[in-house]
Structure formats: structure tokens, C-alpha cells
Structure 1
């Protein structure tokens, strides 16, 4: 399916999500599925005037959302997390939708993407998320129980600044790249869960030794 000349309505994205949930090992109630569908519809609309995702099909957008949601079971029962470089919404928006019991901060330095994330938080709505425009270095030291990010190169010093002493990182990456992740300061790979329906992608958990 191509992105097409017109954005897809939420109902179309909801159907695509429901068709693919089981393949990703996910069970979501109607409310969460509907919120994800509204998010994808807004993303499909905004990306036509703002470079949020590149030229991805609707099916690819759904796959990105479900890959993001797949990592939700690795998060703690309680706490506050920061998603670094949320950009067009992955993985931060699906995670916040799937885990409304957690508090979230979405950090994005680019103003247009920040505007999109604020629109999403307000209209979907995602009431358990705060959008911060700026650098992660400007966030409060030791404020977070966990960090999430997709494909970014993070160093141990940044994680030390953000995380509480027992905090951890969830990184959406590939089998080849996780070993290259330069984490100084004693962070170690605890586990790497293969993401269903992908060949090489994993959610890797890094914890301080």
C-alpha cells in the first residue's frame, strides 16, 4: 500500500493494526488500538508537509508502531521514562499509549517535530506524556527510571546524567548494531529480544553493572 494522495483515516489504520497485532504478539484493547490509529492518521497527514518519516507506506507506518509497542512489556510496573529523539513518534508515542500507567517525557530538538508531538499529545490524547524541545543534557539529573530510544548512538555519560542508580536503557536497534553501541560507564547488555516480523531488529536492554 502506498501513502496515496490523501491521508488515511483512523478507521483504516485501526483495521491494519487489528490485522497485525497477533503477528507481533500483542493484545491491545479497543481504546489503545483507536489511539494508535488516530496517531498514525495524524502522522500520515502531517508528514505530507513536514519531513517526519520519509516516504513510508501505510503498512510500514503500522509496522513501526507495532515494533515500538512490542517493547512495552520490558518496561517497569511504575516509573517515569524519557524517550530520546522521539521525532515522528517512534517508539515514544506507541509506548505511552500502551503503558498509560507510566509517565513519559518525549525529547526532540527539532521545532517542527516538537510541534507535531505536542499536537499528538493534545488531540489523541496522550495525557501521560510531556513534550520537551531541547537537548537531553538540559534535563534534570537522575530524574528517570528508564530511557528509550530508536537507533540513536547514546553514551554512558548521557545515560548516567538521566538515569536513577538502578535505571536502564531500552534501545530499538539491530543485531549488528547493538554490539557497536558505545556505552561507557559500566553499562552492559542484559537481554536482546527479537522483534517479530523483522529479520534483524531487536529491543536491547542495557543496565548499569
Structure 2
């Protein structure tokens, strides 16, 4: 029953969001959700336990920032259970995604997802953002419920290209966090996200270096 429910919720949710996905991509998303649900029991990957809420809170929420992903290679920091990185990677197979997390259990799960789902466009790194040394900086870095904005730019600023931007997913608009952004950083734009079936507010903050700091 769960799989039928998920299929219906995903199909209806994508239609509401104006996203047209092939059957293959929809099945890929559902296969990921099944893995997440299975591993969550032992690995505590996500706080969402209600199977009726998983499509909305995990898949559709992750996909709500799809239209803002413009880079050819996205870094997802604090990737945790693979949200939003893996749903985005399934939706955009022609682009590359690097998922970074310091928790060994979570990166083992992510590597298992890459293997079982055949995700050729996903690389998993186990480590801290401060210790990550990419060959070249990223033009976009996503985060979902990872840390305060001040920490995000402090820990990950060196990983971002000068003209790059953070895609920071938040619940309620974080006025206090925006006010605490260090000098040299600014909220480039803010967007209210509409996630079918989800209660509460959802926001995307696009954060970049201030013009005079580049």
C-alpha cells in the first residue's frame, strides 16, 4: 500500500509543481525513498518517520529548488540522508553532484544509494567542509537544514567560486540568521517555496558575496 500511496503522491505533487518527469525518473525517486525509509530505522538519517509524509517532506521538498539549480556541478553540504542532493541528481542526470557529510553512517548510506540506484553523476565525500579541497571551487552549493547561515558561509566560503552562490533551504524566514551574516556576504534573493502536502513555511535564500568583496 505504501508504494501505491507514494506513486500517487509523487505523480500528483509533480503535476502541482509543474514538473514533468519520465516514468523512469519517478521510479528512481521512489526507489531512493524506499532506501531512505529502510536505512532510517537503523541509521537515523531523517526525523521524518511517517511514511505518508515522506514524499512531500523529502522528495517534493528537495525538488522545490530545481529551477534554481543552474550549475553543471553542484556541491550539497551536510548532505545527511541525501536531501536535496540525490533527488536533484535523479532529476538532472546530465549534471554532476558532490555530496559532502562528516557522518560516516550517512556517507555509507549515500554510497549505497549511488551503487543501488546506478547514479553515475554523484560523488560522495566523507569529511568536514573545512577540510575539503576540491580541484576547483563550486559555482553553487546547496544546504538543507544544515547549519546557521553564518556558519555556512564561514565553513564553506572557500569552496564557493567568487561569483558563486549558496542555495540555502530554510523553514520560516530566518531574520536573525540573515542579520548575523558576516560582512562581505548578502542575500541575493529570497523565495517562498510551495511544497504540495507540506505544512509550514519553506524558503530558499540565495546567498552570494557582496559586490564589493569579489
**TM-score, normalised on structure 1?**
0.86
- The within-5 A match list for 1:38-57 is 38-57=31-50
Change (3 A) 1:36 1:166: same
Q: Deviations over 1:121-157 (max 9, x none)?
A: 1111221110111101111265211110012223433
Counterpart secondary structure, 2:47: coil
Please, what is the CA RMSD of the aligned residues? 2.1
The aligned residue for residue 146 of structure 1 is 140
Unaligned runs of 5+ in 1: 2-7
The structure richer in helix per residue is: 2
Candidates 50, 66, 72, aligned match of 2:66: 72
The aligned residue for residue 187 of structure 2 is 189
Change (3 A) 1:184 1:70: same
CA distance in 1, matches of 2:183, 2:85: 25
> 4+ runs of 1 displaced by more than 6 Å?
none
Please tell me whether the aligned partners of residues 129 and 156 of structure 2 are also in contact (alpha carbons under 8 angstroms): no
The aligned residue for residue 105 of structure 2 is 112
Deviates more, 1:87-96 or 1:180-189: 180-189
Q: Deviations over 1:16-35 (max 9, x none)?
A: 31122123332222222111
Candidates 10, 15, 23, aligned match of 2:16: 23
Please tell me whether the aligned partners of residues 79 and 144 of structure 1 are also in contact (alpha carbons under 8 angstroms): no
Q: Deviations over 1:60-109 (max 9, x none)?
A: 21112111111011011x42221111111211111111122221110111
Change (3 A) 1:145 1:25: same
1:185 shift after superposition: 4.3
The aligned residue for residue 168 of structure 1 is 165
Counterpart secondary structure, 1:13: helix
Please tell me whether the aligned partners of residues 155 and 183 of structure 1 are also in contact (alpha carbons under 8 angstroms): no
Please tell me whether the aligned partners of residues 48 and 54 of structure 2 are also in contact (alpha carbons under 8 angstroms): no
CA distance in 2, matches of 1:35, 1:59: 18
Please tell me whether the aligned partners of residues 193 and 203 of structure 2 are also in contact (alpha carbons under 8 angstroms): yes
Aligned residues: 201
The aligned residue for residue 127 of structure 2 is 134
Does residue 94 (structure 1) correspond to residue 94 (structure 2)? The answer is no
The aligned residue for residue 201 of structure 1 is 202
Counterpart secondary structure, 1:44: helix
1:55 shift after superposition: 4.7
Unaligned runs of 5+ in 2: none
